[in-house]
Every structure is written in C-alpha cells, then in structure tokens.
Structure 1
Amino acid sequence: MTDVVSYPKGDLRRMLSVLAAIDSIPDATLVKVVAKTGLDNKTVSNLITQAGEQAGVKITKAGPVYTLESWGPIIKRSGAKMALTGALNTPSVEVLP
C-alpha cells in the first residue's frame, strides 16, 4: 500500500510526491521511494533526474541513499505540500488589469 495518491502521467504532483518521499524518508532508497509513491523504479529515477534538470532541485546519492539537499529556486517545500494535500484546488480568481 502506498502513502501518496496516484496522479496521471505528466502531472507535476508525481514529481512532487517523489521529492516529498525523499525528503520525508530516513535513508531514502529507490526501493523505499517506490514503495511510498506507488510509482515504478524507472519513473522514480526519471522524475529525480527531471527535478534536477528542469527545476534545479539538488538531490545527492550516497550509495543507495538519496538526500534532498535543496528544493531549488522554483519549487518551495510548503507549496509542494499544499499541492499534494489538495490545498491548491481552490477556484481560480480572475485578476483585472
């Protein structure tokens, strides 16, 4: 059983769930992240790479253990948590010029 809701392919929350899993699991290995997110090994590995390349997230790997060193300049930890908990699912408001 996974701890994180399943999101469709291409959904940003898939990447956020991987980052949140790495951030929250002590000694986060690929096996543990896969178990927590419900995603397969290849998808998790690809999302970790994408997070670094596309969002400047800094993840280090020492042996089998991943560590999230920095969420980078684009993603904020608090915003990621809000997206994963559904807090951002509010009606959009039109901004007038």
Structure 2
Amino acid sequence: MTKGTMPYPKGDLRRMLSVLSAIDSPAGATVAQVSTVTGLSRQTVTDLIQGAAQQAGVRIRKSGSVYQIVDWGPVIRKSGAALALTGELEGSEVEE
C-alpha cells in the first residue's frame, strides 16, 4: 500500500468520500490502511467514518479492526462519490 496525500482541505466533503472509497472493497480496510492510503491521521479517519454513519446514513460494519461498507445510505451514491473524487463534478452549478 502506498502512502497517499490528502489534496482536499479540512471540512471538504471529498475527505469523507476518500475515506469511504478506501474502505469500499470486499475485504474492507483497517483505520491504519485507510490512513496510509489517504494521508489522514488515524483519528481523522475514525471521525470521518463516524460522520459518514451519523450524518449521511452510511451503514458501516466493523469486524475486529476491519471496516466494511454495508450500504452507502440515502444521501451518498457510490457512483456520485466516484465522480466527485475524479473531479468530474467540478464546475457543476446548483439549480434553484
């Protein structure tokens, strides 16, 4: 696993999406693994996992030290998260 760097500033939704993306595999991931991939501290990773569950309804299972996404919940779509992380949503305007 290579050490990543977090390109998004504190408070940016894409930080949470990056954490969820790092967890999203059949095997799941530990906080240490997600920290390595994203470049975020372990505490920040833990806080973002909890925030995803509490604020976005993402269902996350923890088995031992491994986290797995059970359901992306009603707020976040996996495909939309991928678009946000690749920059394909940048420049989209909000409709009123």
Structure 1 CA distance for aligned equivalents of residues 30 and 77 of structure 2: 23
Structure 2: gaps (5+ residues)? none
Segments of 4+ in structure 1 off by > 4 A?
Answer: none
Give the fraction of aligned pairs with identical amino acids, expressed as a percent: 54
Q: TM-score, normalised by structure 1?
A: 0.88
SS in 1 for 2:88: coil
User: Given that residues 6 and 15 in structure 2 are in contact (C-alpha distance below 8 angstroms), is that contact kept between their aligned partners in structure 1?
Assistant: no
Q: Which residue of 1 aligns with 2:36?
A: 35
Following superposition of structure 1 onto structure 2, how do residues 5-44 of structure 1 map, counting pairs within 5 Å?
Answer: 5-24=6-25, 26-44=27-45
With 20-29 and 62-71 compared, the bigger mean Cα shift is at 20-29
CA-CA distance at 1:27 after TM superposition: 3.9
Larger Rg: 1
1:76 corresponds to 2:77? yes
Structure 2 CA distance for aligned equivalents of residues 64 and 85 of structure 1: 28
Structure 1: gaps (5+ residues)? none
* Count of equivalent residues: 94
SS in 1 for 2:62: strand
Across the aligned residues of Structure 1 and Structure 2, the Cα RMSD in angstroms comes to 1.8
